[in-house]
Structure 1
Amino acid sequence: MKAFGLRKLTLAAACLLAAAAQAATRLTMLRPPADSGPITVFYPTDATATRVQRGPFTLTVAVDAAPVAGNHRLIVMSHGSGGSGWENSDLAQALVAAGFTVAMPEHAGDNWHDHSAVGPPSWKHRPREVSQAIDAMAADARFAPLLDGQHVGMYGMSAGGLTALVLAGGSWSPALLARHCEAHLAEDFPTCVGLSSELDGSALDPVRIAVARRIIHYKFDEDTTLQEGHDARIAAVVAAVPMAAAFDMHSLAHPRVPLGLVRAGRDAWLAPQWHIDAVRAACNGCVLLADMKDAGHGSILSPPVPDLPPRAARLLDDPPGFDRRTLDGVYAAIVRFFVQNLQP
């Protein structure tokens, strides 16, 4: 880009951020589409924010206040496995401060209160749920006049990162996941079994590996259909610590939209070498927005999830030495990426 054009874009982004930052964050819920969960919406408002409790999280928002226009751009956020919108709320509020409206669908069968479809069954229908969230915002009388539904951003973390990669043009299959787990089961055990088991260095580890291998082969070996998703309204995508070992990496060589990545160097759930680093090696033109070298898999989440069960805590809690104050810079990089790539 010519220097003048870059300066003009940077100035426009700075003005947009400054103007939108005057608005508070509003919070509301939309009714769930068929076969999906409710949609949490964060958006700009002129109302006064107050402290509200949502599960174990305390948020400072204006609940069900009147919206203001912001920058007319929508971001859809896809949560990680077993997650919700609340642990992504600080990033959502950073986006709202820049003028964006943020919609967070709760993925059916893979959320904080329902684990019945964790893994590939959920991954298959997550892109459709993202599209349903865009549809729901376009159909809502409060938001439709304020949003350009043809230039939408999409952010996803972990399993939501897989969703993000799919909507950027990637394709995956359960059989490719099984092939990865056959080759790297012991080294990437949490990817292949989730929270159902873990290796602890004891004499039982070979048994755990054998049982996991048998289950993976039974469930996924024959499912070779490449899973894809497309929504022409999505114009920019960010994938944070994405689940990626199940992808055909050739499909990510040339993303159909600008694709930003966030890496956690000490990710114990999705080991970087087989996930985000493999995406970076395959992808031409992807932008590494943040490389959090001391971060774990859940370090991108804020507020952090409290009182996790021990097995989940070992995979999601911050590693020693990670400084949560650095998240402000990570979130600012994500905001800049969407500002730059969702211009009219």
Structure 2
Amino acid sequence: MGKYFFTCVLALAAACAQAGVGLTQLPAANGDGPVTVFYPADGTDAALKRGPFTIKALQDAPPVRGNGRLVMISHGSGGNPWVHSDLARTLVEAGFTVAMPQHRGDNATDPSHPGPDSWRLRPAEVSRAIDAVSRDPRFAPLLSLDKVGMYGMSAGGHTALSLAGGRWSPAAYRDHCVTNIAEDFPTCVGLSARLRGDALDGVKKAVATGVIRERYDDATWYVHRDPRIRAIVAGVPAAADFDPASLASPAVPLGFVTARKDKWLNPRFHSDRILAVCKTCTVIADLPDGGHGALLSPPPPIDVMGEIAQDLLGDPPGFDRSAMPAVDRKIAAFFSRHLVP
């Protein structure tokens, strides 16, 4: 019995060592963007070029059974799947299938409508992406979609908080920006401008608040629930426009990854205000030297980013990026704890 058990363990270990990461894309449908899927597959990964990124995966390889669970990833503003491929790999190695919808008007190929215009659409896009995976004959027999995980970073973190039961409004975003434009300028204007400590700062703040007052007068509380989503992680989320009381007792287990040196979404206005009231939230990782781009892994090459993006997404001095694989494993463990079996 002991020898048989030991042989089985070795066989299982060998199978795991040979397992690869499959990569495919479900085509765009009904106005939504394509859905990129990472999944367990047999074989040896090959280097694949995706824009400035090189990732290792098996293009369109037949999927094999993992742990039967799906995790959705919602990218940040102007994002793409490749900056979350390290996390996707870690999740696949833990047995998960991972799907990433391309959010309309707020992605790397079309960044035309970031902020509240995109935030209204994103949660339903995640739900429809789950539907798309469920209809695919390659994945449907291998997955149970009654317990789906959800990870979102930055604007994707806003999506995550919405799916955790949070309610938000464009008018709350307006009020935050009008009140805190000097201290949270990047949240309110994104990559369109930056304060430089010169005579033009006053003009920039006045123009920004004027535009925001005009565009975001909708006081509707937006909510979106998908009962299939049963565990959520929000990484450096945009959260200043949420009603904190709506997330005091989240509908599902909710974890956070925070970065203390985040220049884009100052934790004081975002993750910290939710964590201050949330009774059941888990801080999966708090990065004392991490910036907003810490969770982009692999990070975008500096030479493809503009000056403002470099400042907001670049790693602060002293940040040790080698710590990020351990954070990815903690995220995977959170999902395993709450979704498996």
1:143 aligned residue:
139
Deviation string, structure 1 residues 195-235 (Cα, Å, up to 9, x no partner) = 11110000110111111110110011x20001111100001
Q: How does 1:77-156 map to 2 (within 5 A)?
A: 77-156=73-152
C-alpha distance in 2, partners of 1:43/1:94?
A: 11
Deviation string, structure 1 residues 7-43 (Cα, Å, up to 9, x no partner) = xxxxxxxxx9997565210100001132221110000
Query: 2:322 is aligned with what amino acid?
Result: R
Deviation string, structure 1 residues 270-302 (Cα, Å, up to 9, x no partner) = 001000111110211000000011000011111
2:253 paired with 1:258: yes
- TM-score after normalising by structure 2: 0.94
Query: 1:65 is aligned with what amino acid?
Result: A
Deviation string, structure 1 residues 233-285 (Cα, Å, up to 9, x no partner) = 00100000000001011111110000000000100000010001111102110
1:245 aligned residue:
240
**Residues matched between the structures, number:** 328
2:36 paired with 1:40: yes
2:332 aligned residue:
335
Residue 274 of structure 1 aligns to a residue in which SS?
A: coil
C-alpha distance in 2, partners of 1:169/1:266?
A: 27
Answer whether contact 2:18 2:44 (CA < 8 A) is retained: no
1:227 aligned residue:
222
2:318 paired with 1:321: yes
- Structure 1 residues 285 and 181 mapped into 2: Cα distance closer, same or farther (>3 Å)? same
Answer whether contact 1:262 1:288 (CA < 8 A) is retained: yes
Residue 179 of structure 1 aligns to a residue in which SS?
A: helix
2:155 paired with 1:159: yes
- TM-score after normalising by structure 1: 0.93
Percent sequence identity over matched residues?
56
Answer whether contact 1:84 1:106 (CA < 8 A) is retained: yes
1:301 aligned residue:
296
2:265 aligned residue:
270
- Structure 1 residues 139 and 80 mapped into 2: Cα distance closer, same or farther (>3 Å)? same
Residue 51 of structure 1 aligns to a residue in which SS?
A: strand
C-alpha distance in 1, partners of 2:15/2:253?
A: 25
Answer whether contact 2:167 2:223 (CA < 8 A) is retained: yes
Answer whether contact 2:19 2:44 (CA < 8 A) is retained: no
Task: For residue 164 of structure 1, report the CA deviation from its aligned partner.
Answer: 0.2
Unpaired segments ≥5 residues, structure 1: 1-15
Deviation string, structure 1 residues 109-141 (Cα, Å, up to 9, x no partner) = 000010121111110010011001100010000
Match of 1:196 among 183, 188, 192: 192
Match of 1:207 among 188, 194, 203: 203
- Structure 1 residues 52 and 119 mapped into 2: Cα distance closer, same or farther (>3 Å)? same
Answer whether contact 1:255 1:283 (CA < 8 A) is retained: yes
C-alpha distance in 2, partners of 1:104/1:302?
A: 15
Deviation string, structure 1 residues 35-89 (Cα, Å, up to 9, x no partner) = 2211100000012211010111001111111110100000000000000010000
- Structure 1 residues 215 and 20 mapped into 2: Cα distance closer, same or farther (>3 Å)? farther
2:69 paired with 1:73: yes
Match of 1:179 among 170, 175, 178: 175
Answer whether contact 1:17 1:97 (CA < 8 A) is retained: no
- Structure 1 residues 110 and 233 mapped into 2: Cα distance closer, same or farther (>3 Å)? same
Query: 2:224 is aligned with what amino acid?
Result: G
State the Cα RMSD in Å.
Answer: 1.3
2:6 aligned residue:
none
